[in-house]
């Protein structure tokens, strides 16, 4: 009888050790899974904040570019050719640095992606360059055809900018499902 009591004690101890081992492994796995989830969530949050900052900078630069292009209304309101040329020259001098700022911001977007947003930012910058070319053409010839080309280039820029905003907004959306 003493032998069976010893065996029961040994079996009970082994069962307790096995249960303790299984519990420790489960606890370790749960802690590791929680740590991995927390790390992944933090990395996604940081990525989202970097993107938001890059997209916001691109939008700010595009807005500054728009402020230059909107001065075309002042050109239209000028009474004489000399006044128009002076305003167009001033616009042209300001549009280059605005495109330079957009170029810098576009490269930040390129770093943070995703590719479709990066491509859209590049397209915005390229459409800005087209507007600049048409603005330069207006300096030498302010005929209605040149002005229509400038307006069309600006509309293309605006469409590219609106597309960029939509793609950027989509890239920042968080799916919690």
pLDDT in tens, the chain (177 residues): 567 777 777 778 778 777 888 888 888 888 888 888 888 888 788 888 999 999 999 999 999 999 999 998 888 888 888 888 899 999 999 999 999 999 999 999 998 889 999 999 999 999 999 999 999 998 878 788 888 999 999 999 999 999 999 999 998 886 655
Q: Domain locations in the chain?
A: 50-172
Distance of CA 81 to the CA centre of its chain: 42
Rounded Cα distance, 146 and 6, in Å:
103
User: Which pLDDT value is given to residue 169?
Assistant: 93
Please give the DSSP secondary-structure letter assigned to residue 174. -
Rounded (5°) CA angle 157-160-161: 85
User: Which pLDDT value is given to residue 12?
Assistant: 81
Residue that the structure tokens 């050109």 belong to: 75
What CATH number was assigned to the domain covering residues 50-172?
A: 1.20.120
Phi then psi for residue 124, to 5 deg, are -60, -50
Q: Which two tokens stand for residue 129?
A: 């360059």
Whether 147 contacts 138, CB under 8 Å: yes
pTM reported for the whole predicted model:
0.77
The CA-to-CA distance between both ends of the chain, in Å, stands at 61
User: Which pLDDT value is given to residue 77?
Assistant: 85
Angle between helices 115-140 and 144-172 (to 10 degrees): 160
Whether 165 contacts 125, CB under 8 Å: no
């Amino acid at each position: 009888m003493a032998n069976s009591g010893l065996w029961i004690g040994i079996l009970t101890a082994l069962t307790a050790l096995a249960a303790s081992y299984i519990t420790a492994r489960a606890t370790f796995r749960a802690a590791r899974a929680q740590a991995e989830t927390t790390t992944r969530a933090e990395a996604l949050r940081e990525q989202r904040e970097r993107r938001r900052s890059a997209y916001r900078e691109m939008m700010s630069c595009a807005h500054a570019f728009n402020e230059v292009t909107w001065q075309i209304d002042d050109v239209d309101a000028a009474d004489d050719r000399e006044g128009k040329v002076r305003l167009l020259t001033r616009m042209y001098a300001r549009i280059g640095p605005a495109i330079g700022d957009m170029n810098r911001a576009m490269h930040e977007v390129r770093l943070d992606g995703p590719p479709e947003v990066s491509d859209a930012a590049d397209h915005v910058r390229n459409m800005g360059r087209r507007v600049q070319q048409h603005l330069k053409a207006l300096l030498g010839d302010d005929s209605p055809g040149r002005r229509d080309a400038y307006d069309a280039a600006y509309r293309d820029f605006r469409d590219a900018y609106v597309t960029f905003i939509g793609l950027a907004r989509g890239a920042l959306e968080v799916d919690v499902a």
